Amino acid sequence: MAYSIGEFAAIVGVPASTLRYYEKEGLITPRRDANQVREYEEGDIGWTRFILHLKGSGMSVEELKSYTEWRAEGDKTIPQRLDLLEKRRQLVREEMQKLQQSLDLLDRKIEFYREKPNNPKLVFAYPHP
C-alpha cells in the first residue's frame, strides 16, 4: 500500500512541493516506481512527522540533514544524534524562557492600557536594566 506524493502530502499536512524540496535536501527519500513516480509507504509517515516536529522546534533543514545522514549510518552515530537533540532541547528551553518574559511584558502592557482610560496620565514604566 503506497501513497502518491499528493496523497502523502495530505496525510502529513505539507504541500507536495515541500516534500520534493525535503527530498532534494535528503530528508525523506521514497522509492520510485518504473516511471520514476514517488511511492511513499506507511513507514514514512512516522519519520516525516518526526522531522516536521523537530522543524517546529526550530531545527534547520541543515541540522535535519545531518541527523538524517547519521540515522542512515546506524547505531554508531547515536552519540552525534543525542548531542544534536540535547542542544536543541537546551535551545527550546531558552526560547520558552524568552517567551515567558514576553508574556509577562505583554500582560503588564495590556494591564496598563486597560487602566489608562480611567487614568489618562499614566505612563508605562518599561523596566530598565
Partner DNA sequence: ATAGACCTTAAAGTCGACTTTAAGGCAAGA
Partner DNA sequence: TCTTGCCTTAAAGTCGACTTTAAGGTCTAT
Contacted by 108, from DNA, a copy of itself, none: CB < 5 to 8 Å by type: none
Q: Between vectors from CA 7 to CA 18 and to CA 26, what angle results, nearest 5°?
A: 35
Residues comprising the chain, all counted: 129
For DNA, give the closer residue by CB, 16 or 112. 16
Contact positions with a copy of itself (CB under 8 A) in 21-40: none
Residues 6+ apart with CB under 8 A from 26: 65, 68, 69
Residue span 69-108 as binding mask against DNA, x where in contact by CB under 7 A, dash where not: ----------------------------------------
- Contact between 10 and a copy of itself by CB under 8 A: the answer reads no
Q: Using CB under 8 A, which of 17, 29, 57, 60 touches a copy of itself? A: 57
Task: Please say whether the beta carbons of 5 and 20 come within 8 A.
Answer: yes
| CA 93 and chain centroid, separation | 14
- Contact between 86 and a copy of itself by CB under 8 A: the answer reads yes
- Least separation in angstroms between CB 110 and DNA: 21
Nearest to 50 by CA among 80, 27, 79: 27
